[in-house]
């Protein structure tokens, strides 16, 4: 069959009426690919996830920051010394010491700690009326856990959380009016992480950072900036993602009272299914971007070498070829693939998956146990457009 030019693929309009799911469903029914106004091609099918791991593509590097005119300064330094936007050996060298010390088993063993922190956050608010769930619970939980993993004293938590709030968007599309504030906070955050590392070099404490310092000492090629940025990367990559996913999963559970009732009757039995479905139904990461290294034939369309292609997770996670009744929220579905696409794939698959799952599963289980009559107050939360989709306000009453 003749290969069609990319110009024949439909164009997505971000101003189109309807939510992202409705827009992408319409496109998916027309073609397997869509073009965006900024020149990135969206691959819409679950099967296109193979592009993420294929040797015919590479990870995006500095392209998105260059597009925004950012070519130096602290945001640029974060991009160019981290693992997420690197390829090949450079990526492997930066990732190895983190992967070794942030191992799946170790993170899974954090569950009792997560239960302790979630209880500390939820218990005093039961029966206390409506609360700002986004900031009082969902932002606090991952910040407190990563602070504990890194050995940040509780007294530093307010400034640590302020830095996270100021700098988390560094990984995605930046609101350029906030650039100065982001960069000032990044500079201070970097210095703080540098001091934590220095402290462990002088006095190892047998904790995560001491092990990480030890693992990096074995690789003389890693610069001090690279060593620091991987720690910052862990903090930033795990913040807005876990925060928004926790909010949307709880919101959808509460919207389906029968499923909420089933969950609160058996939180430990159902928590894995709840989180897998929450992450599928409303994906916090909109897509996994790559660049074509050679001309690609994607389902009959020619995608020329050099084209940025993002596999749309919002679309792929509702692909009817994989998920029965994809627009139905169902915590008991059995058709989740073994590797949940929300955490990417291949060399860059999320390092924090085990921690994110532990945080979400245990926090939701704590809420179900301590506050079985929890109710959503006011508007249903939504996720904005963006690489990491920011959650709107969400108020709940724990009861």
Q: According to CB under 6 A, which one of 342, 367, 368, 396 is a site residue for ligand HEM?
A: 342
Reported as half-sphere exposure (CB side, CA atoms, 13 A), residue 242 has a value of 32
Contact 344, 350 (CB under 8 A): yes
278 binds ligand HEM, rule: CB under 6 A = no
Which residue of 167, 242, 286, 315 would you call a contact of ligand HEM, by CB under 6 A? Answer: 242
Verify binding: residue 95, ligand HEM, rule CB under 6 A. Answer: yes
Residue 315 found at the interface with ligand HEM (CB under 6 A): no
Cβ closest to ligand HEM, residue 238 vs residue 326: 238
Q: Which is nearer to ligand HEM, 34 or 316 (CB)?
A: 316
Report the C-alpha gap between 208 and 398 in whole angstroms: 34
Nearer to ligand HEM, 52 or 397 (CB): 52
Three-state SS letters, the chain: CCCEEHHHCCECCCCCCCCHHHHHHHHHHHCCEEECCCCCEEECCHHHHHHHHCCCEEECCCHHHHHCCCCCCHHHHHHHHCCCCCCHHHHHHHHHHHHHHCCHHHHHCCHHHHHHHHHHHHHHHCCCCEEEHHHHHHCHHHHHHHHHHHCCCHHHHHHHHHHHHHHHHHHCCCCHHHHHHHHHHHHHHHHHHHHHHHHHHHCCCCCHHHHHHHHHHCCCCCCHHHHHHHHHHHHHHCCHHHHHHHHHHHHHHHHCHHHHHHHHHCHHHHHHHHHHHHHHHCCCECEEEEEECCCEEECCEEECCCCEEEEEHHHHCCCCCCCCCCCCCCCCCCCCCCCCHHHCCHHHCCCCHHHHHHHHHHHHHHHHHHCCCCEEECCCCCECCCCECCECCCEEECC
Among 74, 238, 278, 326, binds ligand HEM (CB under 6 A): 238
> Which of residues 285, 298, 371, 397 is near ligand HEM by CB under 6 A?
285
Within residues 69-88, the interface with ligand HEM by CB under 6 A covers 83-84
- Does residue 275 touch ligand HEM according to CB under 6 A? no
Pick one of 152, 288, 368, 397: the residue that binds ligand HEM (CB under 6 A).
288
Single out the segment in contact with ligand HEM by CB under 6 A; choices: 131-139, 215-223, 239-247, 257-265: 239-247
For the CB of residue 128, give the shortest distance to ligand HEM in the complex, in Å.
Answer: 27
* CB closer to ligand HEM, 170 vs 241: 241
What x-and-dash track marks residues 4-23 binding ligand HEM by CB under 6 A?
Answer: --------------------
b/e map of 233-269 (b: 16 or more CB within 10 Å)? bbbbbbbbbbbbbbbbbbbbbbeeeebbebbbeebee
Q: How far is the CB of 301 from ligand HEM (least distance, A)?
A: 22
R_g (Cα) of the chain, nearest Å = 21
Under rule CB under 6 A, residue 343 binds ligand HEM: yes
Interacting residues with ligand HEM between 157 and 216 (CB under 6 A): none
Q: Give me the least distance between CB of 30 and ligand HEM, in Å please.
A: 26
Residue 83 C-beta: closest distance to ligand HEM, Å: 4
Nearer to ligand HEM, 233 or 273 (CB): 233
Q: How far is the CB of 337 from ligand HEM (least distance, A)?
A: 14
| x/- track of binding to ligand HEM for residues 354-373 (CB under 6 A) | -xx-----------------
For ligand HEM, which stretch binds (CB under 6 A), given 10-18, 65-73, 338-346, 373-381? Answer: 338-346
Q: How many residues does the chain have?
A: 399
Number of residues in contact with ligand HEM, rule: CB under 6 A? 23
> Segment near ligand HEM (CB under 6 A), from 4-12, 117-125, 349-357, 371-379?
349-357
Binding site for ligand HEM (CB under 6 A): 83-84, 95, 146, 233-234, 237-238, 241-242, 245, 284-285, 288, 342-344, 348, 350-352, 355-356
């Amino acid at each position: 069959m003749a290969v069609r030019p990319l110009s024949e693929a439909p164009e997505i309009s971000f101003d189109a009426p309807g939510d992202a799911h409705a827009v992408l469903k319409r496109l998916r029914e027309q073609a397997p690919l869509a073009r965006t106004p900024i020149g990135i091609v969206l691959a819409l099918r679950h099967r296109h996830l193979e592009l993420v791991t294929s040797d015919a593509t590479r990870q995006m590097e500095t392209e998105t920051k260059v597009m925004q005119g950012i070519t130096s300064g602290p945001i640029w330094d974060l991009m160019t010394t981290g693992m997420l936007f690197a390829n090949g050996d450079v990526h492997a060298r930066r990732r190895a010491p983190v992967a070794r010390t942030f191992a799946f088993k170790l993170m899974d063993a954090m569950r009792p700690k997560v239960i302790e922190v979630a209880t500390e956050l939820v218990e005093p608010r039961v029966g206390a009326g409506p609360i700002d769930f986004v900031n009082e619970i969902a932002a606090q939980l991952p910040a407190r856990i990563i602070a504990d993993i890194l050995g940040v004293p509780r007294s530093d938590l307010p400034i640590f959380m302020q830095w996270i709030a100021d700098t988390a968007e560094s990984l995605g599309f930046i609101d350029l009016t906030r650039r100065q504030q982001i960069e000032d906070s990044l500079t201070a955050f970097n210095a703080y992480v540098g001091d934590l590392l220095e402290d462990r070099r002088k006095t190892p404490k047998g904790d995560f950072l001491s092990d990480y310092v030890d693992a990096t000492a074995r690789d003389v090629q890693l610069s001090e900036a690279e060593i620091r940025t991987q720690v910052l990367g862990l903090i930033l990559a795990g913040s807005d993602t876990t925060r928004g996913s926790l909010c949307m999963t709880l919101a959808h559970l509460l919207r389906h009272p029968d499923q909420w009732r089933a969950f609160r009757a058996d939180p430990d039995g159902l928590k894995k299914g709840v989180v897998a479905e929450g992450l599928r139904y409303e994906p916090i990461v909109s897509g996994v971007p790559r660049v074509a290294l050679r001309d690609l034939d994607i389902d009959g369309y020619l995608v020329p070498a050099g084209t940025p292609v993002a596999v749309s997770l919002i679309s792929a996670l509702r692909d009817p070829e994989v998920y029965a009744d994809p627009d139905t929220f169902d915590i008991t579905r059995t058709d989740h693939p073994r590797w949940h696409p929300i955490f990417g794939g291949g060399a860059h698959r999320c390092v924090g998956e085990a921690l994110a799952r532990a945080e979400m599963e245990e926090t939701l289980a704590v809420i179900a146990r301590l506050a079985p009559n929890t109710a959503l107050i006011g508007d249903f939360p939504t996720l904005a457009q963006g690489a990491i989709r920011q959650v709107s306000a969400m108020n709940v009453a724990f009861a």
